[in-house]
């Protein structure tokens, strides 16, 4: 089981905070440093010092780290035109020496679109745009010459399809692509066509296993071997060496420890190891630990020392 660190900077984190936690995660041996792609805080927090752009910050972190993989869980297809996004992500992949994983989703948080003047179509159109973006972004990266695309929402003509990513190891011969969510039909179908990794975030064991099954069925229908997909989940982490430490960390992120034990990865290292193993039995080989207090670096130290070695 691979453990990755997943942060939510819109809740309150500076670029310096992100560099620091990414470097600590790299030093401790976590598989990747991921961040959300949001422009507005959620819930009862200030959000100070304010939002940061996912790909600008990952570009900086790419030059401040050397081995850890970097990515988004997930970039919103509503935020950027797909052609420039393909250029941006390829640039960051080059800057990192080929360490980017590209997560892309339809977008869901209406309020942040209103706050920053971003159009927010109905859900059906958002998924249509997501599908076209997955096709043309990976198409741009993989094209050997110029690239053309004609869809309902996007049209590219005689694109030079440059720059190219530094890596070519993904399912479609480009940067590894991550698709996730709990949609019953279109989400599994998009994963089967485009993704190297499928993520079922913040779900019960039963719901996670069910969604993994839908993706495997979609892959079979598409004539693709399910062994070519990495299956993952994301869960809030709140680990403590003592019960008092668990309670302190839960309070610091405004959550109830009992609720976190039920819905996240919370408790002593032994409890967390046992729950992770149950997700492995459900089919996950990678877990994103959602770290909601990015300044609590000792939290990462504890997980690396007392959880990671037992997986």
CA 47 – CA 54 distance, rounded (Å): 15
At 72-125, the pLDDT tens digits run 999 999 999 999 999 999 999 999 999 999 999 999 999 999 999 999 999 999
What stretches of the chain adopt beta strand conformation (E)? 2-7, 32-35, 69-72, 75-76, 100-105, 147-150, 155-159, 177-180, 197-201, 230-239, 265-267, 286-291
CB 287 within 8 A of CB 279: yes
At 183-201, the pLDDT tens digits run 999 999 999 999 999 999 9
The predicted pLDDT at position 64 comes to 98
CB 57 within 8 A of CB 65: no
pLDDT of 169 strictly over 90: no
The predicted pLDDT at position 51 comes to 96
Look-up of token digits 């179509």 = 121
Q: Report the predicted TM-score, pTM, of the whole model to 2 decimal places.
A: 0.97
pLDDT of 168 strictly over 90: no
The strand pairing partners of 159, in sequence order, are 147
End-to-end CA separation in angstroms for the chain = 6
């Amino acid at each position: 089981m691979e453990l990755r660190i997943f942060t939510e900077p819109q809740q309150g984190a500076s670029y310096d905070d992100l560099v620091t936690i990414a470097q600590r995660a790299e030093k401790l041996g976590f598989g990747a440093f991921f961040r959300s792609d949001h422009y507005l805080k959620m819930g009862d927090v200030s959000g100070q010092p304010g939002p940061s752009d996912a790909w600008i910050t990952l570009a900086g972190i790419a030059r401040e780290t050397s081995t850890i993989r970097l990515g988004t869980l997930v970039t919103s297809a509503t935020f950027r035109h797909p052609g420039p996004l393909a250029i941006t992500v390829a640039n960051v992949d080059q800057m990192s020496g080929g360490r980017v994983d590209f997560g892309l989703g339809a977008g869901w948080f209406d309020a942040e679109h209103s706050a920053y003047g971003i159009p927010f179509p109905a859900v059906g159109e958002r998924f249509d745009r997501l599908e076209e973006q997955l096709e043309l972004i990976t198409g741009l990266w993989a094209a050997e010459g110029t690239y053309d695309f004609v869809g309902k929402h996007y049209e590219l003509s005689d694109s030079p399809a440059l720059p190219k990513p530094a890596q070519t190891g993904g399912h479609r011969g480009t940067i590894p692509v991550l698709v996730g969510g709990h949609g019953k039909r279109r989400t599994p179908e998009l994963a089967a066509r485009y993704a190297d990794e499928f993520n079922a975030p913040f779900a019960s064991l039963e719901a996670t296993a069910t969604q993994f099954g839908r993706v495997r069925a979609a892959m079979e229908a598409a004539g693709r071997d399910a062994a070519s997909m990495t299956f993952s989940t994301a869960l809030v982490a709140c680990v403590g060496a003592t019960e008092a430490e668990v309670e302190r960390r839960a309070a610091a992120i405004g959550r109830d420890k009992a609720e976190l034990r039920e819905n996240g990865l919370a408790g002593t290292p032994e409890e967390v190891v046992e729950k992770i193993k149950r997700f492995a039995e459900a089919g996950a080989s990678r877990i994103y630990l959602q770290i909601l207090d990015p300044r609590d670096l000792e939290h990462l130290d504890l997980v690396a020392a007392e959880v990671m070695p037992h997986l």
